Amino acid sequence: MKKGLLIVLMFGLCVAFFLIASNQKFIRDVGAEKIEIQSKLEEVSKKIDSSYPETPKALIKLNNELMGYLYSKNMQEADVDFYVETIRKLYDEVLLALNPKEDQKSAVLIELQKNAERSIKLLGSEIEDVTLIGEDAEVKVTHYLSTNDIVRVYKLTQTSGKWKIVSWENVKQDSAKSEE
């Protein structure tokens, strides 16, 4: 009887140890993903500060990278402040004035929640066309989401020799392209 009780107790201890060890690994993995997003945002912010994108295409490529983090399952509410600070470095003064930081933060938090609820992920972005118009530019981008594709035209301007995002709008896809 004592042997049987001892065996059951040892088995229970092994199961408890396994469950605790598994849970600790899960906690470490979630923590690592959070640190990964923070460090990636820090890298992008440093890249913007040290070597600002010289072309409209390079600027939008960086914007697309930041969008990828927003649509990532690893993005947390705690990352939103730094995300907003970083992406605002790409905006023109006009856009910054029209879009106060707190309003943008609220919009990003809502977007993050919607993405999580609907399991929306950004699968990729492709720059379709870059058109230079004097000191301005338009960049057409297709963002491939898990739910649908969005074609967006970004309007940029050069301010003090740096390209900045002034605005963007979603446009309908070309019917000829969508049939291909």
Which range marks the domain in which residue 99 is found?
2-179
How many domains does the chain fold into?
1
Average pLDDT in the 117-121 region?
90
**pLDDT tens readout for residues 30-67:** 344 456 888 999 999 999 999 999 999 999 999 999 99
Edge-to-edge strands, sheet with 162-171: 122-133, 136-145, 149-159, 162-171
* pLDDT digits 0-9 by tens, 157-175: 999 999 999 999 999 876 4
Question: Which residue has better confidence, 155 or 19?
Answer: 155
Where are the strands (E) in the chain, listed by range?
Answer: 122-133, 136-145, 149-159, 162-171
Confidence of residue 72 (pLDDT cuts 50, 70, 90): confident
What CATH number corresponds to the domain at position 11?
3.10.450.50
CB–CB of 154/62 below 8 Å? no
Sign of CA dihedral 83, 87, 89, 92: negative
User: 121, 180, 111: which is closest to 149 by C-alpha?
Assistant: 121
